[in-house]
Homo-oligomer: A and B are copies of this chain.
Amino acid sequence: MTGGGPYRLDDQVGYILRLVSQRHASLFLSRLGSDLTPTQFAALVRLAELGQCSQNELGRQTAMDVATIKGVVDRLRGKGMVEQTADPGDKRRSLLSLSEKGRSMIAGLHATGHAVTTDTLEPLDARERDVFLSLLRRLA
């Protein structure tokens, strides 16, 4: 990247990011199976943090486009994990919250999510992980 030499795909950060994300997705799949996708997981866990919020807000809080969060919420509702009600104060909005089923899953999801993160960072030692995450956050 810095020095000279010919342009190589393998040296581009975007390409390497994709490889790491794919490995993460594979680790995620091995632990979650087909119950939830990473995107559905993120939406559920964030909704647990927020308690209740609008669909657009959940999209913003999980870095998802408005069309994307619509689909993810539809699927989570279809699985009975999320509930939707109208906002009495704003007819444009719908309010989302976890269902009883969704709430009952959260502790297990936290444990699984923690394990996936640990799996993903396994090639690094503790100090390297801290350095890596610190640098990665600055690129977000």
Contacts and interface: CB of A to CB of B under 8 A. Distances in A.
A122 to B, nearest CB: 9
Interface string A14-35: 1111111111110010000000
Interface stretch (A41-49, A71-79, A88-96, A97-105): A41-49
**Contact size class for A?**
35 or more
Contacts of A13: 24, 117, 120-121, 133, 136
Interface in A93-140: 110, 113-114, 116-118, 120-121, 123-124, 126, 128-133, 135-140
Interface of A: 1-2, 7-9, 11-25, 28, 38, 42, 45-46, 49, 62-63, 110, 113-114, 116-118, 120-121, 123-124, 126, 128-133, 135-140
